[in-house]
Structure 1
């Protein structure tokens, strides 16, 4: 079984499905959304993060690096990635945690032990386990094994997905999933390619297939000014959702916030927000009204 990397485990999560949950974040995503709040989730491999403001200049990392890939400069610690093997020794040695490694392998037993420690909060709140990312459907064998283990232990299971995966995988996962948190970003294919790097044809096909299968779905719309807040986009989206077979899924409108720049800096990347902006309260309320006209239950956040 292919073992994906986990880059975060979030306990007491209250926005990733019903109740108090534990959310497991898997690395790797087929989309490259311009607004991505978790840039460390996009690549499936281990990455190094560096926070210059935390660095105290101890230089333990420099001394212990087996490849001599680190140096202390006026700008802080600099890594020569031509030499760095991402072994993580520098992160272990850093007393201030200015250097962190993103992504490690957990086996199923280890993860289930972590989940079990949260069972009291899960049980009392009607919560469960959510698999997020990145894109968890990129790792179907591991995901299915975890979903089955959670099901055997009486745990509610949610999968947070962009929907860009083979339809056979989506429907197989649906048999072991209690709730899909399904991202719907744009309806226009050209705009979807511009903002995410991929076509939305497969995504829309999979959403229809899930609805037809009777899967429990919550649609989540990352709501970004100048991207998808206009009336035509919202009307197209609402018409599509209202036309899905079976029960009409509810919609959570998730307002964009420009809070990700610091994470990009940690990865040594530039955050390019382009023309994106936070939606106004009036735009958010108009979106709820558009969905409501189509008989869709919609709310801000969640």
Structure 2
């Protein structure tokens, strides 16, 4: 049987994952997301196109190398005389060319995002099939937001199901219902992000209001098996880290009936990527204490 040669832009494939669905899983991270969460640990997922990044710690200096200086036709790369390395003026960068990344021997300049076919991704998943069988694992699509590359996500999930691979997605829920509905026939599990029900706070911290996210979750609860859904709430300092905010969320999820609700503790693991991309991390240094996180987790537990 011939298959459509559908391609997508993938920025990471994480094998042997234990946190994104049942069993041992292969998690495929797709580029493209409509949200701009201030705490996002995957800022390389925001745009669908491949992006250049620069890790100065890997640069071997302009004296020893300097290949990127010659490769950059837009003159966005210059010597940094203070450090002996290079600096990048992203205002002048022709981001689509990626010529500098192609010649960097130390991979100080590299690319987030690789265009892959469905078959290429499935070949990687097939290597882990023995672990799926023994652990009840499978394939999870994450991001970014999977519906940002709907054709690729739909084809990948459909063909995985035909191979009897357990399938799951992680979604922010900010998409049209028609997009989500296209994926449902090919899914065994859904992880759904629900961050806040406060319109002003949600808009300030993510760039969008929660209305569409809330409405899509309601429709999913009526269209998909609730026992195979997990609502996840990242607890973020200054955003939703209060008993009142978590109680409001827990009450709403409980009102849908039969959907598991989990809290995720805030972390800063992806903050260094903002420097690599020439962006500024949106949150400060504040962390949640284990004791207070336990209190909030206890609130959610009361509704199950």
TM-score by length of 2: 0.90
Counterpart for residue 222 of structure 1: 234
- Judged with a 3 Å threshold, the aligned counterparts in structure 2 of structure 1 residues 109 and 3 are, in CA distance, closer, same or farther, namely closer
Corresponding residue of 2:77: 70
Establish whether residue 257 from structure 1 lines up as the match of residue 267 from structure 2: yes
**Matches of 1:183 and 1:262 in 2, distance apart?**
23
Identify the residue that residue 199 of structure 2 maps to in structure 1.
Answer: 189
2:58 is matched with which residue? 54
Unpaired segments ≥5 residues, structure 2: none
Tell me what 1:84 maps to.
94
Tell me, yes or no, if structure 1 residue 29 matches structure 2 residue 33: yes
For 1:33 and 1:270, locate their aligned partners in 2 and report how far apart those are by CA, in whole Å.
Answer: 12
Q: Which digits, 9 at most, give the CA deviation of each residue in 1:240-291, with x for residues without a partner?
A: 011004xx222222111123331000011121315x7321112211112111
The aligned counterpart of 1:118 is 128
Using the TM superposition, give the Cα deviation of residue 60 of structure 1 relative to its aligned residue in structure 2, in angstroms: 2.5
Task: Output one character per residue of 1:223-245: Cα deviation in whole Å (capped at 9) or x when no partner.
Answer: 11221121111111111011004
How many residue pairs get aligned? The number is: 292
1:16 pairs with 2:20: yes
Alpha-carbon distance in 2 for matches of 1:213, 1:67 = 51
Tell me the secondary structure at the aligned position of residue 87 of structure 1: coil
Matched, 1:140 2:144: no
Which residue pairs with 1:280 in the alignment? 289
In 2, the alpha carbon distance for the partners of 1:88 and 1:195 equals 31
In structure 1, list runs of 5 or more residues that go unmatched: 296-302
User: Secondary structure at 2:186's aligned position in 1?
Assistant: coil
Q: Is contact 1:48–1:101 with CA below 8 Å preserved after alignment? A: yes
Partner of 1:237: 249
Deviations 1:58-113 (Å, cap 9, x if unpaired)? Answer: 22323344555433323422335425353333223222211111112111111111
